[in-house]
Structure 1
Amino acid sequence: MPEQLNTRVEACFEQAEAFFKRTFKRPVVSFQLRGQKAGVAHLHENLLRFNPQLYRENIEDFLRQTVPHEVAHLIAHQLFGDRIQPHGEEWQLIMRGVYELPPNRCHTYAIKRRSVTRYIYRCPCPDSDFAFSAQRHSMVRQGRRYLCRRCRSTLEFSGEMRVE
């Protein structure tokens, strides 16, 4: 795990401790997050998970904005308990007051979407292409049947696939 990220997490906690004049329990920090989220705070486990790919592609903003965003969730939970909204006024107070950052709910990092294969199914209706996911295609191969909503015929695999 990048040392810069751990250092930034610690700095965010120290900043919050100076602001609130109390100590906060340090979390476990993990780099085991994939997909579209840059970071996730697991409040009850006191765990921060970060996306290594988005970190590598956006290091500066990630350290400046994403790390404090997730730390603020843990701080808000330790201060105010379970009954607060994830991006509610308590969290916003920490983002603005402690970290002097805008309380943005979502990142704006470019996400590379992975390609997916679609399996084309048809019925007797004209222009009837139904793109099935791999999971749905597998269900058909296991005996499941899907019907066209118009003609009520069983959808049949055309043998065609496309990558999206």
Structure 2
Amino acid sequence: MTTLRIPIATQQTVMRCLRHYLALANAYLKVDYPEPKVSYQQRGTTAGTAHLSAWEIRLNAVLLTENGQRFIDEVVPHELAHLLVYKQFGRVSPHGQEWQWMMETVLGVSPSRTHAFSVVSVQGKTFTYRCHCQTHLLTVRRHNKIARQESEYRCRKCRQLLQPDPNQLD
């Protein structure tokens, strides 16, 4: 696997953002949490993840490169908030009231659970499935689980079991 190189200037911008929000949190919470490790190893369509016990934030290098400052402004405080919530409250609902409080009150950022970045460049092959109300695009992993009869998936709206689209050719 080849790793996308993140320019030093971009890495510095990420760290400035992280340090800004960490300083806000430390001052508000009257603590001195250390700077988390930042890596650029996140893959797939996920923008970033917070690895709580490792005190690490993993960012998606491709989405960062494609979305620049908007990515930094949205994803860095989002993932930092997860780490801070873990330190303050322990294991709680990932986007629950503690996380929302941390985002809004402590960091001063509007809480958003998911990103809206285009994922076309990082999305793998998808398989079309249908229910009564819509079309769903499933990942290779989910498609294979269905094919091996290890899992089944239902539409969140109509609750119908998803069925492969008969028009899709493998």
TM range (shorter): 0.5 to 0.7
SS in 2 for 1:101: coil
The one of 46, 69, 76 equivalent to 1:60 is: 69
Give, as a single letter, the amino acid of the residue that structure 2 aligns with 1:106: T
1: distance between equivalents of 2:55 and 2:20? 17
1: distance between equivalents of 2:125 and 2:100? 36
TM-score (norm 2): 0.65
CA-to-partner distance for each residue in 1:112-137, whole Å, 9 max, x for gaps?
123479xxxxxxxxxxxxxxx7xx7x
Find the counterpart in structure 1 of residue 98 from structure 2: 90
Would you say 1:102 and 2:110 are equivalent positions?
yes
Q: How well do the aligned residues superpose, as a CA RMSD in angstroms?
A: 2.6
Structure 1 residues 100 and 35: CA distance shift in structure 2, 3 A: same
2: distance between equivalents of 1:65 and 1:19? 20
Percentage identity across paired residues of the two chains: 33
Q: Deviation of residue 26 (structure 1)?
A: 2.1
Give, as a single letter, the amino acid of the residue that structure 2 aligns with 1:9: L
- Structure 2 unaligned segments of length 5 or more: list them: 1-5, 128-139, 145-168
The one of 38, 44, 52 equivalent to 2:53 is: 44
Structure 1: 4+ residue segments shifted above 6 A: none
CA-to-partner distance for each residue in 1:66-112, whole Å, 9 max, x for gaps?
10000000001111112x11111111001001222221100000001
1: distance between equivalents of 2:41 and 2:89? 27
Find the counterpart in structure 2 of residue 14 from structure 1: 23
2: distance between equivalents of 1:60 and 1:31? 15
Give, as a single letter, the amino acid of the residue that structure 2 aligns with 1:114: G
Would you say 1:27 and 2:11 are equivalent positions?
no
TM-score (norm 1): 0.67
Greater Cα radius of gyration, structure 1 or 2: 1
1: distance between equivalents of 2:49 and 2:124? 21
Structure 1 residues 79 and 116: CA distance shift in structure 2, 3 A: closer
Q: How many residues align structurally?
A: 125
